[in-house]
A = this chain, B = another copy of it.
Amino acid sequence: MKKPPTIRDVAAAAGVSVSVVSRVLNPESGPVAPAKRETVLRVIEELAYRPRAAARELSVGSTPTVGLVVADLANPFFAQLADRIVWEARSHGVQVMVMTTQEDPHLEADSLDTLLDRSVAGVIATPTGANIEKWARLQSMGVDVVFVDRTIPELGNVDVVSIANVDSARRATEYLLSLGHKRIGLISGPVTTSTGRARIEGYQSAHETYSVSMDPQLIRDVPFRGEGGGDAVGSLLALPERPTGLIVANTAQVQSSVRRLIQTGVQIPEDLSVIVFDDNPWTELTTPPLSVLRQPIDMLAVHSLELVLGRMQGKLPSTPRVIEVNADFVPRSSCSPLLLTPSR
């Protein structure tokens, strides 16, 4: 319980001034005679001295730490994203403060305040979509902001890393259309989010390409939280003209949607061809294994971290970067041609 040594303790033990010790600690900040450097390093070792982060932060004004504001760690997509980002950051010698918003704008606002208090130099976030002025304020304080997976179009000057949402939704839809399906249900995220809108757009675009008319009843936008996916599945299946295909484009609702499908005993793919967004590990453990759009989580993590670090070091041009990575479509056994279904 005795207090840890300070830089002055080290200086005294090594018979030099604190300036010298500090210069040994940060080699770029000035010259030190090789002999003294040696001595100082030895003393540091002996005393097991470690500089206190708070002191350095206070005097330097910021800290090589990035905040990670993620919606929900209980969602495997975000959890894996966080895991990769934390891992990647460590290899760059950067700390990560992980915060969760549970999709609640108030909690998001809290998180941003906290990160501001801790003087983080950069933030990687999956924004809820609200708190626009708060994000702007953060930027105006010199904090570099990178959005990942989603974005807020109203906010300029933000780097964004996401999957090609329009294209991904289009490909999934076109795949089902090419199998002959005409009525395809879509469960997407809220239209208030960029991903929700983009995926609906891709869905529509595919219908135009195939000259298939589109029934707006088949599009359901549901919140990220809660069991909305299951309910949407229920009501889609209850339609007089039941869909023969289903795309679950809301990653947070895949579980509840699939659970409902299983509960209601729908035969997949005989009664319903299914594609879900995001390749959670269990999607190939179901019967049948589900066709998925796999989001390249590693790419998202690497790019977002690269961007935020690049900004922090001022190595990037000031124009905002938008990086879109392609998602892989992984066909499995949950889709079949409509032809197989006898007219009902």
Contacts and interface: CB of A to CB of B under 8 A. Distances in A.
A267 interface: no
A36 interface: no
A255 B285 CA distance: 8
Contacts of A73: 73, 79-80, 82-83, 86
A50 B117 contact: yes
Interface string A311-340: 000000000000000000000000000000
A33 interface: no
Contact of A119 (B54, B100, B114, B258): B54
A140 interface: yes
B280 A282 contact: yes
- The winner among A1, A63, A118 for most chain B CB atoms within 10 A is A118
A180 interface: no
A15 interface: no
A287 interface: yes
How many copies make up the complex?
2
Q: Which 6 A-B pairs have the closest CB atoms?
A: A282-B282, A79-B79, A73-B83, A287-B287, A98-B98, A54-B57
A309 B271 CA distance: 53
A250 B59 CA distance: 47
A97 interface: yes
B76 A72 contact: no
A208 interface: no
Given A98-B96, A262-B285, A58 B52 contact: yes
25 contacts: A1-B140, A1-B141, A1-B142, A4-B141, A50-B113, A51-B117, A52-B58, A52-B117, A52-B119, A53-B119, A54-B63, A54-B118, A73-B79, A73-B83, A79-B79, A83-B100, A87-B102, A96-B98, A97-B97, A258-B285, A259-B284, A262-B285, A282-B282, A282-B286, A287-B287
